[in-house]
Structure 1
Amino acid sequence: MQLVDLIEKNALDKILEALTEATQVSAVVVDSEGQPITAEHNFTTLCREYCRSTPAGRQKCYESDCYGGRESKRLKKRFIYTCLNAGLQDCATPIIVEGYHLATLVMGQVRTGDIPRAAAIAKAQSIGVRDIDGYLKALDEVPFMCGERLESIFKLMEAIAQTISSLALQKYLSQRAQQQSLHKLINSVSDAIVAAQPNGKITMVNKAGENMLGRTAENIVGRTLCSLFVEPETVRTLVTPRRAKPESKGPLVLDVRRPGRQIFPADVSFAKIYDEKGERTGYAAVMRDISEQKSAERMKEDLIGMLTHDMRNPILSIQRGMKILLDKYLGPLNDKQQELASLAYDSSYQLLGMVSDFLDIFRDESGGLSLCRVLVDMNAVLLQSLKEVRLAGEDKKLDICFTPGEEALQLLGDWSRLVRTCTNLLENAIRFSPEGGRISIAAELLNGSGPSGIASATGAGFQADGARILVTVTDQGGGIPKEHHKEVFEKFFSTKTKHENGRRGVGLGLAFCKLVAEAHGGSIWVESPFKSDEQQAMKGCRFLFALPVEDPRQEQVGCDE
């Protein structure tokens, strides 16, 4: 604990400046070793230019001030004494906080009597002063002060020292209360918190840190922060003194050591700590053990992989069985049996598409999704999608309008995933269209900027100046609020509008559509509410996706690595 940690040096200097101006004596606040803490106020020429002008003389003054402080601490009051250097009259008063001798207020540099010339010369020569005449002249200029006057000044000095001690005590108690509250808070959190000095030496660890690291605070404090991690060089680059700011903008996943060669993964955030003056005082690391989280993620990945793979086999078996029935290998079917078998066959395709969507999204998150590109015609893709949703549209008596163009709309793309993308958009339109409503589908080749909205809605990877195929699916449903236009493409998004036939998110279908569009270098977006030529009111949705005809990332037909 230092006095300047409790009372600012500027405040101490202002007190001494006022004190010396009123008393016309010198004053300084020194530490327990006699080293000055404040400026040296109103020092005499003798002390300033002679006694403290040589290394030996300054050291002698420090020893004298240290002696005065030590004796005043022992007496617990002011101590008047003859300085050990020039033989002048000084007085020391201790500044004590909670039993700690933080500093000493020293005043004096006056004479109460004559100092023999021979003794003065001897003192000057002992500290290496060469200008003896100047020394003696400066000694003659030191003011005389009677005992009564000196006593009143030293009494005032003692009162001021006690006031400084009281102010320092109040600040100390306030800081200690804050530290205790902070320690309680730090020790109450579940994350490990480790503080270190600028050189990396650990100075503090909370209870959660002790439990997480498997060591007591005594075994952690004093170690280097880098030694806690399996890859210390990674941490050293983040907390090197040459850097003005921590390099990590968020938590890093690092392997942490425990005793017995145990290693566990943790989310770690580093921060540099600065004091009120903006000077770096150390570092803090906040760590969270994510062993269980990593284990749960592995279990989730294994479970998802198992479900998606194992569900495909029974669905494919159902498809084969329905196909055998429909092909009449087992005998003829009446009209009702034919209808039910066709419904089951088409439903199996829908179920397989849902499982495939789920698997592809999982593959994309795991970094394993690849496209098998071939030359496809978007008109053929849409016709195949319409075939798969035919029964669902007929059930709601919907008028689904699509007229393929005379020219093929060809691009390099993944046939099966593009079919599922269009099927998902059509199923979404059918689900939220009113019975007897109308669904419009269109596909066209664009060589310019296209319709309004395409420039702002397409993603950063979309080539605005290249040829592209634009597909639109328009329905007459309740629409989607504008604030949900981006969220509707997120996984498991769900919302309901105020309309009676409001639409809810379709879970993974639209998320899969966004995944496929962006994997092809394109983009997908929604316009709602939308007014078509046949509609009088603003409602419904228009889903649009645009794909580049020539994807610069894929120069030849084949599957992406």
Structure 2
Amino acid sequence: MGCQQIKLLDLIEKDVLEEIVRDFTEATRVASVLVDLDGQPITREHNFSRLCKDYCRSTPEGRARCYASDRFGGEEGRKIGKPFIYKCLNAGLMDSATPIIVEGYHVATLVMGQVLTRPLSIQEALDAAKRIGVEDVAGYLRALHEVPVMSYQRLQSVVKLMCTIAKTISSLAIQKYLSQRAYQQNLHNIINSVSDSIISTDPDGIVTVINKATVAMFGREASTVVGRPIFDLFACPDAFREYLSCKKQQQPYEIPPVFEVMKPDGQIFYTHASCQELFLSTRETMGYVTVLRDVTREKKIEKMKEDLIGMLTHDMGNPILSIQRVLELMLDRHLGTLNNRGEDLVSLALNSTHKLSGMVSNFLDIFLDECAGLNLCQVPGDMDSTLMESIRQVGFSAGDKKIRIHFEPGRGGMQMAADWARLQRTCVNLLENAIRFSPVGGSIALTCEPCRDERDRSAILVTIDDQGKGIDREKQELIFQKFYTTTVQGGNERRGVGLGLTFSKLVVEAHGGRIWVESPYLDGAGKQVTGCRFRFLVPIACDTR
């Protein structure tokens, strides 16, 4: 670290330095000041004589000579490694300069003096005043007579004290410097241990610092990255420039911040960017830190997932429909007469294909919603008819477990526009779920009734009550997440909620409604029932997404 990089005020607070210099001045009655390497004051100018304040530093040439004198004293003191006593380069007064050294670097100078060990001749004083362009020569001479005179031995005693003060300042600075250096080294080690790329830039996007992971990720030497625009690292510089611009203006970036990068050898990879603005204490922007994570593998997996979903939803759809059609022809006896056992088996197979078709459709709709949003195909219809058809579709599953489904159509027969195919799949999902977790020989209550929603809109409320073992309250929101499985009260597994409930929530919310579960719930008589009550509410004049 070069001396130009170490600033005394970064190591010791200015108020502390002011107090040290002030106390030294009060104890010695001499003038003193702490200056930087150019001779510019760091602290206030304590106990300066009227000659120096009102005359020597009253003209541009005078100030320049004073600063040059303090700079000269500091440089000479650094060379000899101790306080340097000398005549100032302006008025010829006696000064002494002691360098402040931090880890071998000269960072500041403690200057004291403005005294005389012998009187100056009139001619020396006139020459000095003339050199700096003083017009009030008489006043200059009167101020010169006010300058304190002390013996050289006394001056040396004061200089010795000044040396002790300078060492104290150096010691304080060294402690803070070593602490800062240790912190910076630890930070450097942490940053370089991170596998993600970390790039620091100035406000204009010029790279100032990078970590080792950046060199490895981009396949470029640090010297070819630092000092150049960060935008040049990306295959489409304008895309990242737009992203950084949004960050500067605190605007949302509409698309995921994933950017394509081309290495020098032509290899393409993808990175996810996260950018954070850095501020000075004044809240002025000092730059940005960008963290880049290589998401090439995730992109490949995403592509494989899309291909798999395409295969599942399209390539499997036609074979399932073909199997359904053949099974329906067999049940309708177009291919011959089946005995009772055969009809049962074909009905079971047909019911399984309906379930498989529903699973594939759920999978496709969830995928489409994640990619581009679910588009509803709304046509006139009524909920009663949809529920009746849903009961018919799950009839085989209910009959297999000797479960009765109680439903009285009538209150949900009003006409409304909705995506009835998807709402029917929603009802089938909820009924299949209720059948799966109801005891053998149990019953399921299904109701449909008009109501008002939270926004006081006319709506249809569908309720499905089962008598299973229920779901813990803390898990009732989680069951609508993809692939979530839970356990029921008592420890038995309640599986199968996978995509069906996720799809149901997606469809209901796309219609502007909501879906929820109550477990346990209160029946019509106010009695608490162990089980699940699934309910969904759909506005009649629905607000679709």
TM-score between both structures, scaled by the size of structure 1: 0.91
Equivalent position amino acid for 1:434 in 2: P
CA distance in 2, matches of 1:546, 1:337: 41
* Structure 2 match to 1:286: 291
Q: Is the 8 A contact 1:251 1:269 kept in 2?
A: no
- Give 3-state SS (helix, strand or coil) of 1:506's partner: coil
Task: Kindly indicate whether residue 23 of structure 2 is the aligned counterpart of residue 32 of structure 1.
Answer: no
User: Is 2:500 aligned against 1:509?
Assistant: yes
Can you list the C-alpha shifts for 1:172-226, whole angstroms capped at 9, x where unaligned?
A: 2221111111111100101111112344432210001112222111111111334
Pick from 444, 458, 480 the counterpart of residue 439 of structure 1: 444
Aligned mate of 2:353, from 328, 345, 348: 348
Q: In the alignment, residue 514 of structure 1 is paired with which amino acid?
A: K
Please state if 1:486 is matched with 2:483. Answer: no
Segment drifting more, 229-238 vs 183-192: 229-238
- Determine the structure 1 residue equivalent to 2:169: 164
Q: 1:118 to 1:194 in 2, by over 3 A?
A: same
Q: Is the 8 A contact 2:359 2:500 kept in 1?
A: yes
Could you tell me how far apart the structure 1 residues matched to 2:254 and 2:44 are? Answer: 43
Alpha-carbon separation, structure 2, partners of 1:35 and 1:315 = 87
How much does 1:247 deviate?
A: 6.8
Runs (5+) with no aligned partner, structure 1: 450-454, 456-463, 555-561
Name the amino acid aligned to 2:487.
K
Q: Where in structure 2 are there 5+ consecutive unaligned residues?
A: 1-5
Distance 2:393 2:288 in 1: 61
Match in the other structure for 1:397: 402
Is the 1:73–1:101 Cα contact (8 Å) retained in structure 2? yes
1:55 aligns with 2:60: yes
SS in 2 for 1:372: coil
Matched-pair contact (CA < 8 Å) for 2:78–2:106: yes
Q: Deviations over 1:153-182 (max 9, x none)?
A: 001111111222222222222211111111
Of stretches 545-554 and 437-446 in structure 1, the one that deviates more from structure 2 is 545-554
Partner SS for 2:34: strand
C-alpha RMSD of matched pairs (Å):
2.3
Residue number in structure 1 paired with 2:3: none
Report the Cα distance in structure 1 between the residues aligned to 2:61 and 2:203, rounded to whole angstroms.
35
Please tell me the residue identity of whatever aligns with 1:394. G
The one of 534, 539, 545 equivalent to 1:543 is 534
Cα–Cα, structure 1 residues 118 and 249, in superposed 2: closer, same or farther, change >3 Å? farther
CA distance in 1, matches of 2:253, 2:18: 42
Give 1:318's aligned residue.
323
CA contact (8 A) 2:412 2:460 kept: no
Q: Match of 2:199?
A: 194
| Aligned-pair CA distance for 1:101 | 1.2
- How far apart are the structure 2 equivalents of 1:553 and 1:98? 70
Aligned to 2:382: 377
Q: Are 2:152 and 1:144 equivalent residues in the alignment?
A: no
Q: Which deviates the most, 419-428 or 193-202?
A: 193-202
- CA–CA distance in 2 between the matches of 1:15 and 1:27? 11
Q: CA deviation at 1:256?
A: 4.3
Amino acid at match of 1:487: L
Shift of 1:440: 0.5
Q: Does 1:126 align with 2:131?
A: yes
Structure-2 change in CA distance of 1:206 and 1:500 (3 Å): closer
Which secondary structure state, in structure 2, belongs to the residue aligned with residue 366 of structure 1? Answer: helix
CA shift for structure 1 position 274:
3.3
Q: Which amino acid aligns with 2:139?
A: G
- When residues 264 and 109 of structure 1 are mapped into structure 2, their CA distance, relative to the original with a 3 A threshold, is same
Instruction: Identify the residue that residue 419 of structure 1 maps to in structure 2.
Output: 424
Cα distance between partner residues in 1 of 2:306 and 2:463: 35
Secondary structure of 1:184's partner? Answer: helix
Alignment of 1:295-310 (within 5 A): 295-310=300-315
C-alpha spacing 1:341/1:249, structure 2 compared with 1 (3 Å): closer
Change (3 A) 1:415 1:277: closer
Q: Distance in 2 between matches of 1:140 and 1:85?
A: 16
The answer to whether the 8 Å contact 1:273/1:284 transfers is yes
Identical aligned residues as a percent: 52
Q: Which residue of 2 aligns with 1:266?
A: 271
Residue 469 and residue 263 in structure 1: after superposition, are their counterparts in 2 closer, same or farther (change >3 A)? same
Matched, 1:4 2:9: yes
| 1:88/1:235 CA distance change after superposition, 3 Å | farther
Q: Which residue of 2 aligns with 1:519?
A: 510
Matched residue type, 2:218: L
SS at match of 1:499: coil
Q: Report the Cα offset of residue 472 of structure 1.
A: 0.9
CA pair 248-359 structure 1, distance change in 2 beyond 3 A: closer
Instruction: Specify whether residues 56 and 500 from structure 1 end up closer, same or farther in structure 2 by C-alpha distance, changes over 3 A only.
Output: closer
Q: Secondary structure at the match of 1:193?
A: strand
Select which of 105, 110, 120 maps to 1:105.
110
Q: Given residue 518 of structure 2, which amino acid in structure 1 is its aligned partner?
A: E
Distance 1:247 1:158, change over 3 A: farther
